[in-house]
Amino acid sequence: MPSIAMASTKPPISPSLPSLSIRTSSSSPLSKVETHGSNFHFPSLVLVSATASIAMATAALPPEAAASSFPLVLSALQEPPNALSLPTWAVHVSSVVEWIAAMALVWEYGERSGHTAWKGLSWGMVPLLGGALCACTWHFFYNAESLEVKFLLVAIQGALTTIGNITMLIAAFRIFTASQESSSSS
């Protein structure tokens, strides 16, 4: 079973963020990562966890408390009634950041383990990231009807989500067949 520990073998990538590593036993599925010369590092895991914690803590606040905690200068700005609240924006942004981090970690696993099918999963995640960026763009402009009608942003977001689900299905099937082939050959 893998264990997560503070890495002492390599300095962290960023001086302000500690690096985490997974040390595996020889029977673990992650043991191939260990044989390529270094531990599997997750320097962004701390950043992603902190972002998610802040988003959840902010989401727990009632809207009145979240709005009253900002300076009076910012509270004087008027937004339309369909504007997203700060906690909702925190969830949207942290979800996109976490998705990008997941794509990078999946790619890194494919690189270090030698299982190239995992890199395909990272590519399969790209259309879903595009759909998320379309949704954030639409919300940034207060769900403007002109973006929905003229630029078909909502339709593009829906199409990218559908395409992304299909590419993730194909990538998962490729990983499955690759694992079946490797287990039958050994």
What one-character-per-residue DSSP string does 104-138 give?
HHHHHHHHHH--HHHHHHHHHTHHHHHHHHHHHHH
pLDDT at 81: 86
Tokens coding 47 = 């950043």
pLDDT at 56: 58
pLDDT at 8: 45
pLDDT at 149: 86
Per-residue pLDDT of the chain (186 residues; tens, 9 = 90+): 454 444 444 444 444 444 444 454 444 444 444 434 444 444 455 555 656 665 555 555 565 555 555 555 455 568 888 899 999 999 999 999 999 999 999 999 999 999 999 999 999 999 999 999 999 999 999 999 888 888 899 999 999 999 999 999 999 999 999 999 989 887
Residues 6+ away with beta carbon under 8 Å from 117 = 110, 171, 174, 175, 177, 178
Domain parsing of the chain, residue ranges? 1-41, 49-185
Tokens coding 125 = 């995640």
